[in-house]
Amino acid sequence: MALLTVRNLHARVAGKDILKGIDLEVAPGEVHAIMGPNGSGKSTLASVLAGRDGYEVTQGEVLFDGKPLLELSPEARAAAGVFLAFQYPVEIPGVGNIHFLRTALNAQRRSKGLEELDAMDFLQLAKEKSKLVQLDAAFMNRSVNEGFSGGEKKRNEIFQMAVLEPLLAILDETDSGLDIDALRTVAGGVNALRSPERGMVLITHYQRLLDYIVPDKVHVMSAGRIVRSGGRELALELEQKGYGWLGLDGAKASAAEARR
């Protein structure tokens, strides 16, 4: 059974139709990449899946692990195993990174009927997982993302994913703005979390990421639809020819920009 099934999904934001019939199926163990020009609706799809307010689903359905996903609150989706690494992680002054993450993990554990982790056990776990993305212990004691550099924020997202161990991870441009060393680190972290039961959706503009995290499938999104799907060779082809090659109007400029 597929882990995630998206069928004919239509969604609008602020009265504007953004998603215009998305179909997507992710099986356990698979890594899918979604590419596509700026404004094509990639983050909107991620937001709808994670349950952000303000998005109206006008048609279609989403099944997660065989059960309807869209009726769940964001926290219930997280507890079910959905994780979204934000394109722009939010700074939350005054909320300690480690305290927040323990609260999140324990809330998820509670909802699964598992015992909560005490502060010591959690710290041990956090320490272990932080090595995966080489996030310095000092970051754990700071407020969530406050004053973190772009790369540190992205590493913090992957660190949280490693602690929460979701079934489905949606990474929205986790590679954007990373220098090559940071990209390697983050990709290494993600690869370490690949497993037969876990599915991943990578939203990216860059083939470069896919050199490190090799996808099973690649999709191209344009104007709210998936217009092309294929294997990893599709990403390579896009890299060479740009979106114009797919006959996407007005997409050339942004594709060129994206490759820069």
Ligand X SMILES: Nc1ncnc2c1ncn2[C@@H]1O[C@H](COP(=O)(O)OP(=O)(O)OP(=O)(O)O)[C@@H](O)[C@H]1O
Residues 221 and 22: their CA atoms lie apart, in Å, by 9
Residue 86 phi, psi dihedral angles, 5° rounding: -70, 145
Segment contacting other proteins (CB under 8 A): 10-18, 82-90, 122-130, 242-250? 82-90
The burial of 260, by beta-carbon neighbours within 10 Å (0-12 exposed, 13-18 middle, 19 or more buried), is given as: exposed
Residue 174 in the binding site for Mg ion (CB under 5 A):
no
Residue 149 CB partners (closer than 8 Å, separation 6+):
none
Which of residues 105 and 210 has its CB atom nearest to other proteins in the complex?
105
What CA–CA distance (Å, rounded) separates 32 from 131? 26
Closest CA to 217 of 198, 199, 205: 199
Interacting residue with other proteins among 100, 206, 212, 245 (CB under 8 A): 100
Q: Is 93 in the site for other proteins (CB under 8 A)?
A: yes
Task: Output 46 or 168, the one with its CB closest to ligand X.
Answer: 46
Task: Indicate whether 207 belongs to the interface with ligand X (CB under 6 A).
Answer: no
- Calpha distance 61→69 (Å, rounded): 8
> What is the distance between the alpha carbons of residues 23 and 154, in angstroms, rounded to a whole number?
28
From residue 90 to residue 129, the character string flagging contacts with Mg ion as x (rule: CB under 5 A) and all else as - is: ----------------------------------------
What SS3 state is found at 220? strand
Taking CB under 8 A as the criterion, the residue among 73, 138, 249, 260 binding other proteins is 73
Closest residue by beta carbon to Mg ion:
43
Query: Which stretches of the chain bind ligand X, using CB under 6 A?
Result: 13-14, 16, 18, 36, 38-44, 87
Query: Which stretches of the chain bind other proteins, using CB under 8 A?
Result: 50-53, 73-75, 77-79, 83-84, 86, 89-90, 92-95, 99-101, 103-105, 107-108, 110-111, 116, 143-144, 160, 164
